[in-house]
Chain A
């Protein structure tokens, strides 16, 4: 089998800040799959994300869900309803006390606790890159098309400047 490579190879990361306000890391080893059809199966509605045993389900469109799961696994749905997307998405986790503030420089949506609570997800745009963002515990997860990954990571690092950013490898 062929080895997988990260789309963030070559990312220039700043030296770690002394007081860390924002951490950024890539959730590697994930694969994406698009699911067709799933009403009434406990999948999230519009604007929702659900972390399940086999992975994360994100509402993508009426009757469509984006599934993120460990590479090499297949989500538990009939194959006819699945379209494998392999490494089409890069998922970055943004965490820390100033994560929301850094994201507010890039995302044009309200990420406050009332407007964007647990299990909230949104498809929007950040630094001209189409992204899906959702909450995972105290952190935020941002997913983009693989080809944009390096640009998005650079934009997130720039947003963390002055806020104590640290890239976790």
Chain B
């Protein structure tokens, strides 16, 4: 029922929501759990394996049971904890894992098979007969397994990533966190305060405690108001710090609009924070643990601190007759709060000699609950003495576990404290200080003092001095606790891990079967492996394991906590790196022109390159590509080569650096001349090829392949900075400075006369470079070099003038049949001329393999010189570059096919090499290709079997010289 007064809810406004189709009402400030409990609804779900009826256990994100499905359609969200789901008008929630209905779940029949479904059952069952697995067992298990239904439509919401920087990060905003934040903020430090709850204040909102003689939540409100007024303080409610990474890096997720029906326009649903903090204070509080006894998972059985939280914060009392089962003083607070709310209370205190700490309640000293009875909800509590008490609420106070998870994300193990019966943070993480209940302080005054001290010290270490925080008055009564983790009895229904349905029996079984190490027992039983990471289960579980294996709790140890602390949506992790934001696109300076002229674009790494330029009437890409390739050799073509890496190497040391980097001699290159160059890796394989133009004694202009531009740049910087740091040289990326086109074909000279202000440089010999002007004074560079095997030049103009230049070039070239060509036609032309490119330069070929062995200098040291001569790289059996010619126009040749001796059995052992590139040659009227073939040079003119089983290719073709056209190279020298 909803109590008539009290609670931190807004009773003036009503919120309507549904649960399993039934309409309910709540108030702003409610969670789904608190609103349902206020209506007396305690049955909220069915457990994972056994489909046992379950209700709310806790108050916050540690909730293991009340997992519901929220929303519908593309925003449907399974496995949402009802305890953290903020109520909003129109909220639709449904219980999970039950069919046909929560109250009548047919899958509960699995309980009858419970003895077969215990820990490790999947290693022992459903194995015989083997044939049944695929057809029967797996489909059945698949339908029964899992928890929750994922949505099957794309996520309509937007997510964001945010980088935050601060001097002090305070994790948690309970008494210790608020005190730490105040102490740090008052020093002038930049402070970020996070709390997973929508309303900051931690347990000050859930307990009836007093600070300075007034309700504690009022002090929390004042502290938050003061913090909000500091410009250097950022308050982040609804934000969970879920992981601790190196060097003060913290990952957090902020639930920006989870509490609304849909994100408002422009707002993200969630925001992932990367926080860099000089220092951090972990004020994450503590979580109450259960006690394992028979039937301890019935709806109506809750953590004692949670139950009083529902009464105090939400004015929700889900029952009338309560039993409080406590192992320490703390449970008595719940007893008093329940009594004042009007419930009949019996306290079963497991400690025989402990005094009553509240009046007006029945007291069973030294009593223990043996079993909870009920069908869909609790109705009776049975003690070990046999005494039975009618009850619809059972509050369990098993002791407090400091929330140490974040301190162990770097592998630091928590340390058992006998006096507190709890694990405290261990050696911890540099820069992260636990404070308050997370550090084992269990009185309000101690939490405030500890937080204040930790906050001030964190600020000091971050470089900010200040005064100790004046502490308000608060109670300081230590709460005694006796260790009690389980009550012996029917272990098969004494639940330890509620979410994964792991019982005390399962843990005993694991120990009996030899899984005695806590890491083995965890994995064998799945204890602690559910979405709650065992927050309520781990300590009870390992206490049982300790007892079963005759060890102490510290001897048994703990398993590792890893991020995330609570589940994080994939959307938040992806942030805005989705769709077009996944990776950037690079466009050439001619992109706009190409798009307007029929270009079809292909992704080459991050670049968009025109693969061909379609003309009206062309029916497919082959029509365009054949036309373009034929036109280059017949008239002239222009190709955008701006994506190739361009690097200027400048300074007195430039020649010396390039002599080290290139395998062939560079320092002998004269100004005004260009040389084709090959760069090796230090292990002797070819890294990249390109051209090197010498513009002046101390200025060189290099080109690289598109794919290797970044790698070559990095390599040059390495060779300069690490190997030859004394050289006076600068290595500059100029790829984006120039729009670069290749004009190729017998008419290319006439075309270029139409744009060059002075045509004289066109008479310079092949492999020359000149600085020129074009189109009435625009500075440009003219390079005579050819990739297509035709008479050709490359022209570089300032990038911002690229499109204007193309318009003028096309106009000048129109009378000569100039047409643009793309990367596909470029590929056809270079294969026809046997020029190595991507398929041959994959980092597994040597210069000798490619027929470039003679380029390696004998006069100088260069990168890769020594290892290029090691036995494996000079082995005469290495596959070398050859051409492949199909025998007629119908044969199909594809890159990737293997080469075999005709008649040899097809096996990788018999493979003599593979096809590296293939195309239809419109000039030869058939498919041709390049390949790496063992003994290739001696096989020109012979037949080879081209074996391509994946694509049904198996034919004999002819091995030939890789240069299919104009082997003397006379066309480039025209």
A interface residues with partner B (beta carbon < 8 Å): 1-7, 9-10, 32, 34, 36, 61, 63-64, 71, 80, 83-89, 104-105, 107-110, 112, 115, 127-129, 145-148, 150-152, 154-155, 158-159, 161-163
Contact = CB atoms under 8 A, between A and B. Distances in A.
Contacts of B671: none
Q: Which 6 A-B pairs have the closest CB atoms?
A: A87-B800, A162-B266, A86-B798, A151-B584, A88-B737, A2-B801
Given A104-B163, A110-B276, A150-B587, A34 B775 contact: no
B585 A145 contact: no
B651 interface: yes
Interface of B: 158, 160-165, 190, 265-268, 274, 276, 576-577, 580-581, 583-589, 592, 607, 648, 650-651, 698-699, 730, 732, 734-738, 774-779, 797-805, 808
Contacts of A2: 774-776, 778, 797, 801, 804-805, 808
Given A2-B775, A2-B797, A64-B730, A145 B803 contact: no
Contact of B274 (A87, A108, A150, A152): A108
B587 A147 contact: yes
A1 B607 contact: no
Given A2-B778, A86-B798, A86-B799, A154 B737 contact: no
B276 A86 contact: no
Nearest to B161: A105
A147 B730 contact: no
B592 A88 contact: no
A18 to B, nearest CB: 12
A155 B578 CA distance: 11
Given A105-B160, A112-B190, A150-B587, A88 B778 contact: no
A7 B587 contact: yes
27 contacts: A1-B778, A2-B775, A2-B805, A5-B589, A5-B592, A9-B592, A32-B737, A34-B730, A34-B732, A36-B650, A36-B651, A63-B730, A83-B732, A85-B734, A86-B800, A87-B589, A87-B736, A88-B734, A105-B161, A110-B276, A127-B576, A145-B586, A145-B735, A150-B587, A151-B580, A151-B586, A158-B581
Contacts of A84: 737, 779
B584 A146 contact: no
Contacts of B651: 36
A59 to B, nearest CB: 14
Contacts of B165: 110, 112, 115
A159 B581 CA distance: 11
Contacts of B797: 2
Contact of B800 (A4, A64, A110): A4
Given A2-B776, A83-B732, 17 more contacts: A2-B774, A2-B805, A4-B800, A5-B802, A36-B651, A80-B698, A86-B737, A86-B799, A87-B736, A87-B798, A87-B800, A89-B736, A104-B162, A104-B164, A128-B583, A147-B735, A148-B584
Nearest to A115: B165
B733 to A, nearest CB: 8
Contacts of A148: 584, 586
A63 B72 CA distance: 60
A128 B589 CA distance: 20
A3 to B, nearest CB: 5
Contact of A83 (B580, B650, B803, B805): B650
Contact of A36 (B588, B730, B803): B730
A147 B607 contact: yes
B671 to A, nearest CB: 14
A6 to B, nearest CB: 8
A69 to B, nearest CB: 14
A131 to B, nearest CB: 11
Contacts of A129: 584
Contacts of A61: 730
A88 B808 CA distance: 21
Contacts of A154: 580-581
Contacts of A115: 165
Contacts, number: 136
Contacts of B736: 85, 87-89, 145-147
A143 B775 CA distance: 29
A85 B265 CA distance: 41
Nearest to B590: A5
Contacts of B737: 32, 84-88
A163 B603 CA distance: 33
B799 A87 contact: yes
A150 B586 CA distance: 8
A39 to B, nearest CB: 13
A6 B776 CA distance: 21
B584 A127 contact: yes
A64 B777 CA distance: 29
A61 B651 CA distance: 15
Given A104-B163, A151-B584, A86 B738 contact: yes
A5 B513 CA distance: 75
A117 B162 CA distance: 20
Contacts of B587: 7, 147, 150
A124 to B, nearest CB: 11
A88 B799 contact: yes
B235 to A, nearest CB: 15
A9 B587 CA distance: 11
A146 to B, nearest CB: 4
Contact of A1 (B158, B266, B775, B799): B775
A123 B511 CA distance: 57
A150 B585 contact: yes
A10 B160 CA distance: 25
Contact of A146 (B607, B730, B799): B799
B264 to A, nearest CB: 8
Nearest to A112: B165
Nearest to B608: A147
B586 A147 contact: yes
Contacts of B803: 5
Q: Most chain-A CB neighbours within 10 Å: which of B699, B737, B776, B801?
A: B737
A83 B781 CA distance: 14
A7 B580 CA distance: 17
A34 B607 CA distance: 24
B784 to A, nearest CB: 22
B777 A1 contact: yes
Contacts of B734: 83, 85, 88
A5 B595 CA distance: 15
Contacts of A87: 589, 736-737, 798-801
Most buried by A among B158, B576, B774, B775: B576
Contacts of B583: 128
B163 A108 contact: yes
B388 to A, nearest CB: 59
A160 to B, nearest CB: 9
Contacts of A128: 577, 583-584
A151 B737 CA distance: 18
Nearest to B775: A2
Contact of A5 (B276, B580, B650, B804): B804
A3 B274 contact: no
A105 B162 contact: yes
Contacts of A145: 586, 735-736
Contacts of B267: 162
Contacts of A6: 800
A19 to B, nearest CB: 11
B140 to A, nearest CB: 46
Contacts of A161: 158, 266
B581 A127 contact: yes
Contacts of A112: 165, 190
Nearest to A159: B576
A165 B651 CA distance: 45
B657 to A, nearest CB: 14
A81 to B, nearest CB: 9
Residue from B730, B738, B805 with most neighbouring chain A CB atoms (10 Å): B730
A64 B717 CA distance: 13
Contacts of B163: 104-105, 107-109
A155 B581 contact: yes
